[in-house]
């Protein structure tokens, strides 16, 4: 699937403006590897904090899965990596690249996030459950607009991939909150979150990581400007 997506993306870019996949910022450079590391670490850390605090509030016992091995971890991580790469190439790849050129950054990112939210109705199998559809749309839509702006402002897929992968790996592979079943840590018992805490953690998901990423990109851009201005002043 990933190979097919790469071939289709390359073909569409060539037809559109005779460019190639490099316009998506896929060639590794030092700043882009920093973007990848920042995205993975910050997103994974914020996800872990959220799930850990929820387990305390709900009095849920979280224990290490005795059947979990490094082989399972690597297999699950590779599965998650493929999933993230497929989604990033689809929603933040050539379609967003062309959308930015045709519509501008803001409209292209908004439409990309809407498509990303609707896509998760089907990938999460919640289509038809209105309450779940609204929740999934807002949570994944905010993630989608975050990843879209991360691509648009860095002109590279590395930051959105890092942000996306960090959250998913911690959520699914570390804390077993996803389609792969029991992974590194498993949950036992606990009580549901009340309305106040549910709203609080919803707001945490849609506000904190975007803010952290915004400050990172702002600092990244100012550092890049200083690097280009300083030599000319010497």
pLDDT of residue 224: 60
- As a whole number, mean pLDDT of residues 71-75 equals 96
For residue 60, name the pLDDT band (cuts at 50, 70, 90).
very high
pLDDT interval class at 229 (50, 70, 90): low
* Backbone φ/ψ region at 62: left (φ over 0), alpha (ψ -120 to 50), beta: beta
pLDDT category of residue 234 using cuts at 50, 70 and 90: very low
Burial of 5 (0-12, 13-18, 19+ CB in 10 A): middle
Q: Flag whether pLDDT at 193 surpasses 90.
A: no
Of 10, 20, 23, 39, nearest to 156 by C-alpha is 23
Question: Residue 76: how many CB atoms within 10 A of its CB?
Answer: 21
Question: For residue 44, how many C-alpha atoms fall within 13 Å in the half-sphere facing its CB?
Answer: 16
Q: What are the domain boundaries of the chain?
A: 30-55+62-218
**Least trusted range by pLDDT, from 15-29, 70-84, 168-182, 190-204:** 190-204
Q: What is the pLDDT of residues 135-165, one digit of tens each?
A: 899 999 999 999 999 999 999 999 999 999 9
Q: Which of 94, 123, 101, 105 is nearest to 25 (CA)?
A: 94
Mean pLDDT of 198-227: 84
**What is the Cα Rg of the chain in Å?**
19
Rounded to 10 deg, the angle between the 130-154 and 195-233 helix axes is 10
């Amino acid at each position: 699937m990933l190979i097919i997506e790469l071939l289709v993306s390359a073909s569409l870019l060539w037809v559109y403006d005779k460019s190639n996949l490099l316009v998506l910022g896929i060639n590794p450079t030092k700043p882009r590897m920093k973007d990848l590391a920042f995205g993975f670490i910050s997103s994974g850390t914020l996800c872990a904090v959220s799930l850990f605090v929820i387990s305390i509030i709900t009095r849920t016992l979280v224990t290490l899965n005795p059947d979990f091995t490094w082989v399972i971890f690597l297999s699950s991580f590779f599965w998650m990596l493929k999933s993230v790469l497929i989604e990033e190439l689809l929603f933040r790849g050539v379609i967003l690249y062309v959308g930015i050129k045709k519509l501008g950054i803001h409209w292209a990112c908004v439409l990309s996030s809407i498509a990303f939210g609707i896509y998760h109705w089907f990938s999460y199998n919640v289509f038809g459950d209105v309450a779940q559809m609204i929740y999934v749309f807002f949570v994944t839509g905010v993630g989608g607009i975050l990843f879209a702006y991360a691509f648009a402002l860095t002109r590279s897929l590395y930051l959105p991939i890092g942000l996306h992968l960090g959250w998913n790996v911690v959520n699914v592979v570390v804390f077993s909150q996803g389609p792969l079943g029991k992974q590194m840590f498993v949950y036992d018992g606990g009580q549901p979150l009340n309305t106040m805490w549910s709203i609080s953690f919803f707001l945490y998901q849609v506000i904190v990581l975007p803010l952290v990423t915004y400050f990172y990109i702002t600092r990244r851009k100012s550092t890049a400007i200083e690097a280009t201005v300083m030599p000319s002043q010497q």
